Amino acid sequence: MDLSLTLKIIGFFVFAAGIVLAWSPELISSKPVPEDIFRAVERRVWWGVLIGLGLIPFFHGTVKPWLPTIIAVGGALTFGVLIARLIGIAVDGSVVKQWFWVAVEFVILIALWAWYSKLKI
């Protein structure tokens, strides 16, 4: 089995763990669910980092050159946080401030994608 396939398999399991923990962070945390909807969604957002880390092997397969790798990691992490935030909005409810962050993350994601697609890899 080559390294690329191994990283994709590991990435899939990390991605799946991130989705499960973003959906149900109570599986490993005994903290009570915050009363404030914004804070309730925010406790799920950090699991988006796991989602993004799991997606990196699918978005970008090499380490060098460094600039495309950094952009791909930033894009994958932003996408993961965006997915976790949308899960939180779906489960906990929405407030305007959360939709503001969705818009900010979406704009960052589009900018990173445009930058990445213009690079000659």
pLDDT in tens, 97-107: 999 999 999 99
Joined together, the tokens standing for residue 100 give 């503001």
pTM: 0.87
Task: Output the six-digit token pair for 44.
Answer: 């799920």
Any alpha helices (H) in the chain, and if so which ranges?
Answer: 3-23, 37-45, 48-59, 66-92, 96-118
| Domain chopping of the chain, boundaries | 3-118
pLDDT tens, 5-37? Answer: 888 899 999 999 999 999 988 888 878 888 889
DSSP 25: G
44, 25 Cβ separation under 8 angstroms: yes
Q: Give the Cα separation of 90 and 78 in Å (integer).
A: 18
- Read off the DSSP letter of residue 31: P
Q: Which two tokens stand for residue 89?
A: 């909005």
The CA distances from residue 83 to 23, 56, 91, 101, in Å, are 10, 14, 12, 12
Counting residues of the chain whose pLDDT is more than 90, the rounded percentage is 52
